[in-house]
A and B are shown apart, each in its own frame.
Chain A
Amino acid sequence: MANYKYPEVLVSTDWVLAHLNDPNVRLVEVDVENNAYELGHIPGAIAWSWKRDLSGQTRRDILSREQFGQLLSNSGIATHTTVVLYGDNNNWFAAWAFWQFKIYGHKDVRLLNGGRKKWLIEGRELTLDVPAHSPMEYQPQALDNSIRAFLPDVQNAVQGGAAEQVDVRSPQEFTGEILAPPGLPETAILEAHAS
């Protein structure tokens, strides 16, 4: 089994395999494409759509505290549950979900290293069975905005040189050649491009 420096954050496919029947571990597949989960998923995993389940429906934002609590309650997740997130597109929106778990103070949430793709490439077991978990009562912590930067925070950081910034987009987006990843709709605004 891989020895990660921060196993409380990142787990391997071997770790997941060893915990498939652990009642305190809940696997959640977070996909961009809804049909990925339906093709086959890790046994025991439930599915969340980043757009339907993890984004505000009336404004572009994360879930409210109430919405987040409702989602986890409906998914049978309790405050003590170890949640392992993975997904398509190299964990793009599994990481988005991870961030929201942290913002709402969930104690034990981890990412599967390599996401859905690694599990598939390694030829590990898949299922079409959708598990039914009994709802739990979940009360999120108060929203922690200390791990979220808003536009003024970024502007102040740029002007004051007080923080290092890391652009995790593609090289062509970084240079401004394109405004969205190749093949995806443009969602960035030219004036907001940070170089």
Chain B
Amino acid sequence: MRAEEFGKRPLEMEGWTVHLISYRIGDRYVAEVEDISSGVTIARNIDEVCTVAEEHAIETAVKRLSRTRRVNLDLSLTVGG
């Protein structure tokens, strides 16, 4: 058993650039949405159909990314400062 049919494409979600990665292991497809900067997997979904796995991974990733707050900070802030 191996990972096969690898695919990777960039997507914009909630203002973030992510990678949608998909591959097949055995008879299951895995879809992952990955943050480009940190490499963290934001969402992963598994299904017998590749497009379904991708759709659900995207759906979850959009939900999670929508909760990420962008804040304005005084960049002169330092620990103890």
Contacts and interface: CB of A to CB of B under 8 A. Distances in A.
Given A125-B1, A126-B3, A182 B75 contact: no
A112 to B, nearest CB: 15
A177 B16 CA distance: 13
A126 B28 contact: no
Contacts, number: 112
Contacts of B38: 169-170, 173, 181-182
Interface residues of B, number: 38
Interface in B16-63: 16, 18, 23, 25-26, 28, 30, 33, 35, 37-44, 46, 61
Contacts of B64: 183-184
Interface of B: 1-4, 6, 16, 18, 23, 25-26, 28, 30, 33, 35, 37-44, 46, 61, 64-65, 67-71, 73, 75-80
Interface of A: 32-33, 35-36, 39-40, 88-90, 92, 120-121, 123-128, 154-155, 158-159, 169-173, 175-186, 190, 192-195
